[in-house]
Structure 1
Amino acid sequence: MMAGKPTLQEIEAAEKKPLWQRLGWLAMIWTGSVVALFIVASLMRMFMNAAGLSTH
């Protein structure tokens, strides 16, 4: 059995979880990615400003 591949029982168990719980995970992952992108963009802007480059 492959370690990374979920079994049929695990897939069926995941599908039985309530919709709000599955959507909650989706929302958390999406929010986390947006926050991470904002942090990276802010750091890049800060370093560009420190190097003498301006955004306007």
Structure 2
Amino acid sequence: MPGKPSLDDIKQAEKKPLWQRLGWLAMIWTGSVLALFVVASLMRMFMNAAGLSTH
């Protein structure tokens, strides 16, 4: 399959330093949290514009 990584690709990825792999994990996590914040903020803004509020 063209999209499936080969065993050599996996071994090369495992050779990268731990700090680099953890850095990618942290960046992906931070990006997902920010995306969730943006979506939640937009939903709250639209709900407030429609007259819905929590108090």
**Could you state the TM-score of these two structures normalised by the residue count of structure 1?**
0.96
Instruction: Name the structure 2 match of 1:36.
Output: 35
CA distance in 1, matches of 2:28, 2:15: 20
CA distance in 1, matches of 2:11, 2:50: 54
Runs of at least 4 residues of structure 1 off by over 3 A? none
Q: Percentage identity across aligned positions? A: 85
Aligned residue-pair number: 55
For the pair 1:17 / 2:13, whether they are aligned, the reply is no
**Could you state the TM-score of these two structures normalised by the residue count of structure 2?**
0.97
Instruction: Name the structure 1 match of 2:51.
Output: 52
Deviations 1:4-55 (A, max 9, x none): 1100000000000000000000000000000000000000000000000002
Unaligned runs of 5+ in 2: none
CA distance in 2, matches of 1:55, 1:39: 19
Alpha-carbon RMSD across the aligned residues, in angstroms, is 0.5
